[in-house]
Amino acid sequence: MNAGNAATHAPDLFGLPTPALILDLDVLENNLRAMQERTDALGVRLRPHVKTHKCVEIAELQRSRGATGIAVSTLAEARVFAEAGFDDILWAFPLNLSRIDEAAALSRRIELGVTVDSLTAVEALEAAGTPFSVWLEIDCGYGRSGVPYDGGRVVEIARRISRAGRLALGGCLTHAGHTYGADSPSAIAALAEEERRAMVETGRALRAAGLEPGVLSLGSTPGMSRVATLEGIDEARPGNYALYDYTQTRLGSCAVSDCAVTVLATVVSARDGSNGAIADCGALALSKDVGPDDPPHYGRLFRDASRGAPGGALGGAPGGALSDHRVTSVSQEHGRLSGRFAVGEKVRVLPNHACLTVAHFDHFEVVRGRRVVDRWKIRRTRD
C-alpha cells in the first residue's frame, strides 16, 4: 500500500487508491487535547499506549501536549520509539522469557519498564545480571493476566523484586479490559472505580509490608471516559482515545464525530438487481472483529462518502453521519456491503476496532477535510 507522497499525487482524498486508511487530523488533535485535559483535571500523568496507532508522529503530538512516557505491547514497538527519541517506555505486556536478552540491551539505552506477574519471571530477570525497572501487573478483576490485588502474592512478588540486587520495583500497573464488556455507562464507571480501588489497595498493602510500590498505573479508554476520581493513582495509560472507533461509540466513550480513522474503499462488484455489493475492504483492511452489534458486522458505512468524515469540514452532526449500511461479511480482500451501490462508487467505513484496522496498513493518509496533507508511517514491526 506504499506509494509516493500522497499530498503530491492525490491532494483530494477521493483520488487515493483504495483501500486507504484515512486519518482526520482535526479530529485527532481534538482527541489528544481532550484526554490530556481530562488526565490533568484528574491529577494524573498521561502515559498513552501507542499500540493503537503505532505512529511516531502521533506519539510526538501526544508528548507535545503533555504526555509523559509511552506504553507499548511489543519489544519491536519499544525499539522503534526508542530510535525516535522516546526514552521512558513501559513494555506493558507480561515478560516473554525468551526475549530477556533483547530487553536487557534496550534497557541499557533507555528507561524501559518490564512487566511481570510471577516469581519465575522475576528470577529469570535476576539471573540475566542486568539492571531492570520491573513493573508488577495487578489483576483488578479482568482475569486476563496479573496478580490478584486482594491476595498475598502481590507482596510476595514485590518483596522478591526488592531483594534482587539489580532489580527495582518501578511501579504496579493494571488494565480494566472488562470495561469493554460493560452494558451501560454506569457499569463502566463502576468498573473504573473498582480498578482505581484495586490499585490504591495494592499500594497500601505494599507500604504496610515496608515496600515502596512505585508508580500506580491504570487505564482503559472506556474507563477514562467515565471515571469520577483517580485519587491515589499516579498515571493513566489509555490508547484507543487517540483514534476511537465504532465500538467506543457504542460504549459511550465518544461520539461518531470523535472517530479520527475511517477506511475509504471502492465498490468493485454489484450484480444487477442485487441488494448488496462487494468493496475492497476485506479482513486485511477492517480485521475480523465483529464489533458490539447484533447481528454482528465488520464496520458501519457513512451516509455519503463525500460527507462521511467524522468532524472537520466534512462532518455532520455528532452521531448523525452513519447510514444503516454495514460490511456484513469479509474474506481476505472482499467486503460484502448491505444496500445498493454502483461499481466504482466510493464508500467510507467506520471500523469496529481501530487498533486492529490500523495494524493492517502501512501508513495513514492524513487529511484536513478532503485535502490530503501528509502520509504518516505505521510501524507494523514484528518481534
Last residue of a domain, one of 238, 267, 282: 238
Q: Label residue 326 by pLDDT band (50, 70, 90).
A: very high
- The percent of residues in the chain predicted with pLDDT above 90, rounded, is 88
Residue 43 belongs to some domain of the structure:
no
Last residue of a domain, one of 238, 263, 298: 238
Residue 36 belongs to some domain of the structure:
no
Over residues 239-283, the pLDDT tens digits come to 999 999 999 999 999 999 999 999 999 999 998 877 889 999 999
- Same domain for 10 and 106, yes or no, is no
DSSP-derived 3-state class of residue 37: helix
3-state percent breakdown (helix, strand, coil) of the chain, nearest 5: 35, 25, 40
- Same domain for 136 and 219, yes or no, is yes
Supply the range of the domain harboring residue 73: 49-238
What is the structure's pLDDT at 315?
Answer: 34
Residue 309 belongs to some domain of the structure:
yes
- Same domain for 295 and 156, yes or no, is no
- Same domain for 349 and 278, yes or no, is yes
User: Is residue 118 classed exposed, middle or buried when 0-12, 13-18 and 19+ CB atoms within 10 A define those classes?
Assistant: middle
- Same domain for 128 and 186, yes or no, is yes
Over residues 25-55, the pLDDT tens digits come to 999 999 999 999 999 999 999 999 999 999 9
Indicate the number of domains in the chain.
2
What is this structure's pTM?
Answer: 0.93
Q: Is the pLDDT of residue 319 over 80?
A: no
Residue 244 belongs to some domain of the structure:
no
Over residues 362-381, the pLDDT tens digits come to 999 999 999 999 999 999 76
209-228 as b/e: b if 16+ CB within 10 A: eebebbbbbbbbbbbbbbbe
**Looking up cell 526475549, which residue turns up?**
99
Residues 32 and 65: beta-carbon distance below 8 Å: yes
Residue 90 belongs to some domain of the structure:
yes
Amino acid at 368: R
- Same domain for 203 and 277, yes or no, is no
What is the structure's pLDDT at 355?
Answer: 97
**Looking up cell 506504553, which residue turns up?**
71
Residues 237 and 215: beta-carbon distance below 8 Å: no
CA 73, 79, 80 angle in degrees (round to 5)? Answer: 90
Q: Which of 10-14, 144-148, 279-283, 371-375 has the lowest mean pLDDT?
A: 10-14
**In 3D, which of 27, 28, 49 has the Cα closest to residue 177?**
49
Q: In sequence order, what are the beta bridge partners of 218?
A: 236
Residue 57 belongs to some domain of the structure:
yes
- Which pairing describes strands 235-236 and 45-46: parallel, antiparallel, or unpaired? parallel
User: Around Cβ 231, how many Cβ atoms within 10 Å?
Assistant: 10
Residue 38 belongs to some domain of the structure:
no
Q: Label residue 309 by pLDDT band (50, 70, 90).
A: very low
Q: Label residue 382 by pLDDT band (50, 70, 90).
A: low
Residue 330 maps to which CATH number? 2.40.37.20
Residue 259 cell numbers, joined: 472517530
User: Around Cβ 295, how many Cβ atoms within 10 Å?
Assistant: 7
CA 102, 142, 203 angle in degrees (round to 5)? Answer: 75
